[in-house]
Amino acid sequence: MTAAAAALLKLTADPRYLGARPGALAVLHTWTRALLYHPHVHMLVTAGGWHDSDRTWVPPTHAAFLVPGRALSRLFRAKVRAGLRKAGLLDQVPPAVWSHEWVVHVQHAGTGAKVLDYLARYVFRIAIVNSRLEHFADGRVTFRYRDGRTGAITRCTLDAVSFLGRFLQHVLPQGFSKVRHYGLFSPSRHDLLAHARAQLVTASPSPRPAEEPIDVAPFAAPEIVPPPRCPACGIGILRLVETLHPCGRSP
Protein backbone atom coordinates (compact mmCIF):
# COMPACT_ATOMS: atom_id res chain seq x y z
CA MET A 1 0.00 0.00 0.00
CA THR A 2 2.89 2.33 0.77
CA ALA A 3 4.52 1.54 -2.56
CA ALA A 4 1.29 2.16 -4.47
CA ALA A 5 0.76 5.52 -2.77
CA ALA A 6 4.39 6.57 -3.23
CA ALA A 7 4.30 5.74 -6.94
CA LEU A 8 1.04 7.64 -7.42
CA LEU A 9 2.19 10.74 -5.52
CA LYS A 10 5.48 10.85 -7.40
CA LEU A 11 3.75 10.88 -10.78
CA THR A 12 1.05 13.35 -9.77
CA ALA A 13 3.76 15.74 -8.52
CA ASP A 14 5.06 15.90 -12.13
CA PRO A 15 3.67 19.02 -13.90
CA ARG A 16 3.32 16.96 -17.09
CA TYR A 17 0.40 15.15 -15.46
CA LEU A 18 -0.90 17.14 -12.49
CA GLY A 19 1.83 19.03 -10.65
CA ALA A 20 -0.17 18.95 -7.42
CA ARG A 21 -1.07 16.84 -4.39
CA PRO A 22 -4.19 14.66 -4.88
CA GLY A 23 -6.17 12.88 -2.21
CA ALA A 24 -5.94 9.08 -2.20
CA LEU A 25 -7.88 6.46 -0.24
CA ALA A 26 -6.43 2.94 -0.30
CA VAL A 27 -8.23 -0.28 0.64
CA LEU A 28 -6.52 -3.66 1.02
CA HIS A 29 -8.30 -6.79 -0.23
CA THR A 30 -6.72 -10.23 0.08
CA TRP A 31 -9.24 -12.48 -1.64
CA THR A 32 -10.66 -13.59 -4.96
CA ARG A 33 -14.36 -14.33 -5.39
CA ALA A 34 -13.56 -17.97 -4.64
CA LEU A 35 -11.88 -16.91 -1.34
CA LEU A 36 -8.41 -17.75 -2.64
CA TYR A 37 -5.49 -15.67 -1.35
CA HIS A 38 -4.89 -12.74 -3.69
CA PRO A 39 -3.70 -9.54 -1.98
CA HIS A 40 -4.35 -6.36 -3.95
CA VAL A 41 -5.11 -2.72 -3.27
CA HIS A 42 -7.99 -0.56 -4.51
CA MET A 43 -7.21 3.16 -4.58
CA LEU A 44 -9.69 5.99 -5.08
CA VAL A 45 -7.91 9.17 -6.20
CA THR A 46 -9.24 12.69 -6.67
CA ALA A 47 -9.34 13.98 -10.27
CA GLY A 48 -7.15 16.94 -9.41
CA GLY A 49 -5.05 18.15 -6.53
CA TRP A 50 -3.90 21.00 -4.29
CA HIS A 51 -1.00 23.12 -5.55
CA ASP A 52 1.01 24.07 -2.47
CA SER A 53 2.78 27.11 -3.97
CA ASP A 54 -0.26 28.73 -5.57
CA ARG A 55 -2.60 27.47 -2.84
CA THR A 56 -5.18 26.53 -5.41
CA TRP A 57 -6.96 23.43 -6.72
CA VAL A 58 -5.78 22.32 -10.16
CA PRO A 59 -7.28 19.77 -12.58
CA PRO A 60 -5.19 17.12 -14.40
CA THR A 61 -3.10 18.30 -17.33
CA HIS A 62 -4.75 15.69 -19.56
CA ALA A 63 -8.53 15.50 -19.54
CA ALA A 64 -8.51 11.81 -20.54
CA PHE A 65 -6.35 10.51 -17.68
CA LEU A 66 -4.71 11.45 -14.39
CA VAL A 67 -1.38 9.66 -14.86
CA PRO A 68 -0.23 7.15 -17.53
CA GLY A 69 -0.86 3.56 -16.47
CA ARG A 70 2.34 2.10 -17.90
CA ALA A 71 4.55 4.64 -16.14
CA LEU A 72 2.62 4.05 -12.92
CA SER A 73 3.06 0.27 -13.16
CA ARG A 74 6.83 0.52 -13.65
CA LEU A 75 7.23 3.01 -10.85
CA PHE A 76 5.10 0.82 -8.58
CA ARG A 77 7.28 -2.18 -9.39
CA ALA A 78 10.41 -0.19 -8.48
CA LYS A 79 8.86 1.01 -5.21
CA VAL A 80 7.87 -2.55 -4.22
CA ARG A 81 11.36 -3.80 -4.97
CA ALA A 82 12.95 -1.00 -2.93
CA GLY A 83 10.61 -1.73 -0.03
CA LEU A 84 11.44 -5.44 -0.06
CA ARG A 85 15.15 -4.65 -0.18
CA LYS A 86 14.82 -2.31 2.81
CA ALA A 87 12.91 -5.00 4.74
CA GLY A 88 15.54 -7.62 3.92
CA LEU A 89 13.05 -9.75 1.93
CA LEU A 90 14.23 -9.19 -1.64
CA ASP A 91 16.06 -12.53 -1.81
CA GLN A 92 12.75 -14.36 -1.28
CA VAL A 93 11.38 -13.10 -4.60
CA PRO A 94 12.33 -14.85 -7.88
CA PRO A 95 14.52 -12.49 -9.97
CA ALA A 96 12.29 -13.03 -13.02
CA VAL A 97 9.52 -11.06 -11.28
CA TRP A 98 11.41 -7.81 -11.88
CA SER A 99 11.88 -8.37 -15.60
CA HIS A 100 8.15 -8.73 -16.35
CA GLU A 101 5.82 -5.84 -17.08
CA TRP A 102 3.47 -5.28 -14.16
CA VAL A 103 -0.18 -4.34 -14.59
CA VAL A 104 -1.84 -1.45 -12.79
CA HIS A 105 -5.54 -1.16 -13.62
CA VAL A 106 -6.60 2.48 -13.90
CA GLN A 107 -10.11 3.69 -14.70
CA HIS A 108 -12.46 6.59 -14.04
CA ALA A 109 -14.58 5.83 -10.97
CA GLY A 110 -17.23 8.48 -11.61
CA THR A 111 -18.57 11.37 -9.55
CA GLY A 112 -21.18 12.04 -6.89
CA ALA A 113 -23.47 9.14 -6.05
CA LYS A 114 -21.48 6.76 -8.26
CA VAL A 115 -18.36 7.22 -6.14
CA LEU A 116 -20.37 6.81 -2.94
CA ASP A 117 -21.65 3.52 -4.32
CA TYR A 118 -18.06 2.50 -5.12
CA LEU A 119 -16.98 3.28 -1.56
CA ALA A 120 -19.92 1.40 -0.07
CA ARG A 121 -19.05 -1.73 -2.05
CA TYR A 122 -15.28 -1.70 -1.54
CA VAL A 123 -14.25 0.01 1.69
CA PHE A 124 -16.02 -2.24 4.21
CA ARG A 125 -16.42 -5.40 2.15
CA ILE A 126 -15.44 -8.71 3.75
CA ALA A 127 -14.35 -11.90 1.98
CA ILE A 128 -17.84 -13.46 1.86
CA VAL A 129 -21.33 -12.56 3.09
CA ASN A 130 -24.02 -14.91 4.40
CA SER A 131 -26.16 -14.54 1.27
CA ARG A 132 -23.52 -16.42 -0.75
CA LEU A 133 -23.65 -19.47 1.56
CA GLU A 134 -26.07 -21.89 -0.06
CA HIS A 135 -25.76 -25.17 1.80
CA PHE A 136 -24.21 -26.74 4.89
CA ALA A 137 -24.69 -30.45 5.59
CA ASP A 138 -22.59 -33.44 6.57
CA GLY A 139 -19.67 -31.20 7.44
CA ARG A 140 -19.49 -29.61 3.98
CA VAL A 141 -20.14 -26.00 2.94
CA THR A 142 -21.31 -24.85 -0.50
CA PHE A 143 -21.05 -21.23 -1.55
CA ARG A 144 -21.46 -19.47 -4.88
CA TYR A 145 -19.40 -16.86 -6.68
CA ARG A 146 -19.24 -15.29 -10.11
CA ASP A 147 -16.37 -16.47 -12.27
CA GLY A 148 -14.28 -13.46 -13.23
CA ARG A 149 -13.44 -14.79 -16.71
CA THR A 150 -16.71 -16.28 -17.86
CA GLY A 151 -19.15 -14.24 -15.76
CA ALA A 152 -21.02 -17.44 -14.92
CA ILE A 153 -22.27 -18.25 -11.41
CA THR A 154 -20.07 -21.04 -10.02
CA ARG A 155 -20.43 -23.11 -6.86
CA CYS A 156 -17.67 -24.42 -4.63
CA THR A 157 -18.08 -27.14 -1.99
CA LEU A 158 -15.49 -27.58 0.77
CA ASP A 159 -15.34 -29.46 4.03
CA ALA A 160 -16.02 -27.15 6.96
CA VAL A 161 -12.40 -27.03 8.16
CA SER A 162 -11.11 -26.13 4.68
CA PHE A 163 -13.80 -23.47 4.30
CA LEU A 164 -12.91 -21.92 7.67
CA GLY A 165 -9.23 -21.98 6.72
CA ARG A 166 -9.94 -20.29 3.39
CA PHE A 167 -12.03 -17.60 5.11
CA LEU A 168 -9.77 -16.93 8.10
CA GLN A 169 -6.71 -16.27 5.93
CA HIS A 170 -8.43 -12.98 5.04
CA VAL A 171 -8.83 -11.82 8.65
CA LEU A 172 -6.21 -9.10 9.12
CA PRO A 173 -3.92 -9.03 12.18
CA GLN A 174 -5.13 -6.97 15.12
CA GLY A 175 -4.23 -3.32 14.67
CA PHE A 176 -3.59 -3.62 10.94
CA SER A 177 -5.22 -0.74 9.04
CA LYS A 178 -7.22 -2.04 6.09
CA VAL A 179 -8.11 1.48 4.93
CA ARG A 180 -5.37 4.10 4.66
CA HIS A 181 -5.26 7.71 3.48
CA TYR A 182 -2.50 9.42 1.51
CA GLY A 183 -1.70 12.77 -0.07
CA LEU A 184 -4.34 15.39 0.61
CA PHE A 185 -6.36 12.81 2.61
CA SER A 186 -3.46 12.10 4.97
CA PRO A 187 -4.30 12.88 8.64
CA SER A 188 -1.37 15.32 8.65
CA ARG A 189 -2.91 17.34 5.80
CA HIS A 190 -6.27 18.25 7.33
CA ASP A 191 -5.51 21.98 6.95
CA LEU A 192 -4.79 21.67 3.23
CA LEU A 193 -7.85 19.49 2.71
CA ALA A 194 -10.03 22.13 4.38
CA HIS A 195 -8.63 24.83 2.08
CA ALA A 196 -9.21 22.64 -0.98
CA ARG A 197 -12.80 21.90 0.01
CA ALA A 198 -13.54 25.57 0.64
CA GLN A 199 -12.10 26.55 -2.72
CA LEU A 200 -14.01 23.84 -4.59
CA VAL A 201 -17.29 24.90 -2.95
CA THR A 202 -16.63 28.54 -3.83
CA ALA A 203 -15.79 27.62 -7.42
CA SER A 204 -18.98 25.58 -7.85
CA PRO A 205 -21.47 27.50 -10.01
CA SER A 206 -24.79 28.40 -8.41
CA PRO A 207 -28.16 28.42 -10.21
CA ARG A 208 -29.10 31.76 -11.77
CA PRO A 209 -32.34 33.45 -10.72
CA ALA A 210 -35.01 33.12 -13.38
CA GLU A 211 -35.39 36.88 -13.73
CA GLU A 212 -31.71 37.55 -14.47
CA PRO A 213 -30.54 37.80 -18.09
CA ILE A 214 -28.85 34.68 -19.38
CA ASP A 215 -25.13 34.91 -20.07
CA VAL A 216 -23.94 32.68 -22.87
CA ALA A 217 -21.45 30.07 -21.62
CA PRO A 218 -17.99 30.05 -23.27
CA PHE A 219 -17.87 28.02 -26.50
CA ALA A 220 -21.65 27.50 -26.38
CA ALA A 221 -23.93 28.46 -29.23
CA PRO A 222 -26.09 31.55 -28.54
CA GLU A 223 -29.28 29.51 -28.56
CA ILE A 224 -28.14 27.31 -25.65
CA VAL A 225 -30.53 27.66 -22.72
CA PRO A 226 -29.30 27.69 -19.11
CA PRO A 227 -27.89 24.20 -18.54
CA PRO A 228 -29.54 21.82 -16.05
CA ARG A 229 -28.00 20.39 -12.92
CA CYS A 230 -25.64 17.43 -13.13
CA PRO A 231 -27.73 14.21 -13.19
CA ALA A 232 -25.02 12.35 -11.23
CA CYS A 233 -24.44 14.60 -8.21
CA GLY A 234 -27.43 16.96 -8.47
CA ILE A 235 -25.21 19.90 -7.49
CA GLY A 236 -22.99 20.91 -10.38
CA ILE A 237 -24.27 22.87 -13.37
CA LEU A 238 -23.90 21.29 -16.81
CA ARG A 239 -22.42 23.53 -19.50
CA LEU A 240 -22.02 22.32 -23.08
CA VAL A 241 -18.46 22.84 -24.26
CA GLU A 242 -18.26 20.68 -27.35
CA THR A 243 -20.08 17.80 -29.04
CA LEU A 244 -17.84 14.89 -30.07
CA HIS A 245 -19.14 12.98 -33.07
CA PRO A 246 -18.46 9.26 -33.71
CA CYS A 247 -15.20 8.65 -35.56
CA GLY A 248 -15.91 5.10 -36.71
CA ARG A 249 -13.99 3.30 -33.97
CA SER A 250 -14.67 2.18 -30.44
CA PRO A 251 -14.00 4.67 -27.61
pLDDT at res. 236? 73
pLDDT at res. 241? 79
Higher pLDDT, 20 or 207: 20
In this predicted structure, the answer to whether residue 219 has a pLDDT above a threshold of 50 is: no
What percent of the chain has a predicted confidence (pLDDT) above 70?
Answer: 87
Average pLDDT over residues 37-60: 92
Where do the domains of the chain lie? 2-127+173-200, 128-169, 207-251
Q: Which residue blocks in the chain are alpha helix, DSSP H?
A: 2-12, 69-86, 113-122, 160-168, 190-203
Higher pLDDT, 91 or 243: 91
Beta strand residue intervals within the chain, DSSP E = 23-31, 37-45, 49-51, 56-58, 133-137, 140-146, 153-159, 179-183
